[in-house]
Amino acid sequence: MALKRANVFVSGNVQMAGFRTFVKNFADSLDVKGYAENLPDGRVKIVCEGEEENISKLENSLKETPPPFARVEHTENEFVPYAGEFTGFERRGDDVIEDDESTTTLLKSMVNYMKIFVDKSEVVNVRLGEIKVSIDDMHVTLKSVKEDTTQIREDTAQIRVDTTQIRSDTSQILEDTSNISLIVENTSLIPEIAKNTSLIPDIAKNTSLIPLIVENTSHIPAMREDTSAIKNNTREIGDSFQGKYEEMSREISQMK
């Protein structure tokens, strides 16, 4: 938006102390630059530069919401070529005091205005105190939440450790139970085993003869020795018969 320059004239009871300060403060809030001064005819002249919209806001504010100690009856506005002359807003000249009654009225208005300001300041202070208490409570709550969060993290870590152990134990259990089918298969032989073990008394009865068998078999080495002697004698007898047979065969041949 293009920058403008304007001369604003304010008529009414406006040359008392504080009015030009009011104009300056409002102009500063709108980034409007220039000055305000009292004229001999009782008006206040405002020379200002800025955006046209902000200049209009300044003029309308003086008409619609003037300070309580002033009475604005009329405003005039004329736009002139922009010069870029000002770097801020200032109040020029001295305040005009018309008579004692006007001064008294002005002072009373200013006192009332200050009372309102003080009352509002006290309310603000009370609310600031309440806000501070709320912030302190919030800090305590946040600290408690932080402590609880830390505890939750520790508990979660422990749960993870316990869960890992449970998984390990479960894996071991599954591994162990994988042999159950083999155990079941082997236990199917139990009736057969029971049937066979029913012969154990007879076996035990027969094994009672083992000492006698052992005693009788103790003669086996001597029997083996005697058997060897018999074999030798038999061999000698055989050789003798063979010799006799051959001798008789020769004699028969000669007789023929």
- The pTM of this model reads 0.39
Sign of the dihedral defined by the CA atoms of residues 210, 216, 219, 220, in that order: negative
Residues in the chain: 256
Average pLDDT (200-224) is 65
CA distance 36 to 74: 16
Single out the residue of 2, 19, 6, 1 nearest to residue 55, CA to CA: 6
Helix crossing, 52-64 with 19-29: angle to 10°?
A: 140
pLDDT tens figures, 93-121: 766 555 556 556 666 677 676 778 778 77
pLDDT tens figures, 38-79: 999 999 999 999 999 999 999 999 999 999 889 999 999 999
Average pLDDT (15-42) is 92
Radius of gyration of the CA atoms of the chain, in A: 68
The domain ranges of the chain are 3-96, 117-176
* Catalytic residue (one of 38, 153, 216, 232): 38
Q: What pLDDT sits at residue 126? A: 82
Is 221 in a helix, a strand, or coil? helix
| Core vs surface per residue 8-23: b (16+ CB within 10 A) or e | bebbbbbbbebbbebb
Instruction: Please check whether residue 11 is in contact with residue 63, taking contact to mean a CB–CB distance below 8 angstroms.
Output: no
Note the CATH number of domain 3-96.
Answer: 3.30.70.100
CA dihedral 108→114→118→121, nearest 10 degrees, is 150
Q: What pLDDT sits at residue 136? A: 85
Neighbours of 77 (CB within 10 A): 14
Instruction: Please check whether residue 32 is in contact with residue 85, taking contact to mean a CB–CB distance below 8 angstroms.
Output: no
Beta bridge partners of 74: 11
* pLDDT over 70, % of the chain: 73
Is 2 in a helix, a strand, or coil? coil
Confidence of residue 184 (pLDDT cuts 50, 70, 90): low
* Catalytic residue (one of 5, 7, 20, 216): 20
Q: Any idea which residue has 């005039």 for tokens? A: 76
Beta bridge partners of 45: 9, 37
CA-based end-to-end distance of the chain: 176
Instruction: Please check whether residue 91 is in contact with residue 21, taking contact to mean a CB–CB distance below 8 angstroms.
Output: yes
What is the bridge-based pairing of β-strands 44-51 and 89-92? unpaired
> Is 20 an annotated catalytic residue?
yes
Which residues, 6+ apart, have CB-to-CB distance to 39 below 8 Å? 9, 45
- Write phi, then psi, for 13 (nearest 5 degrees): -90, 80
The listed range with the strongest mean pLDDT (34-38, 136-140, 154-158, 166-170) is 34-38
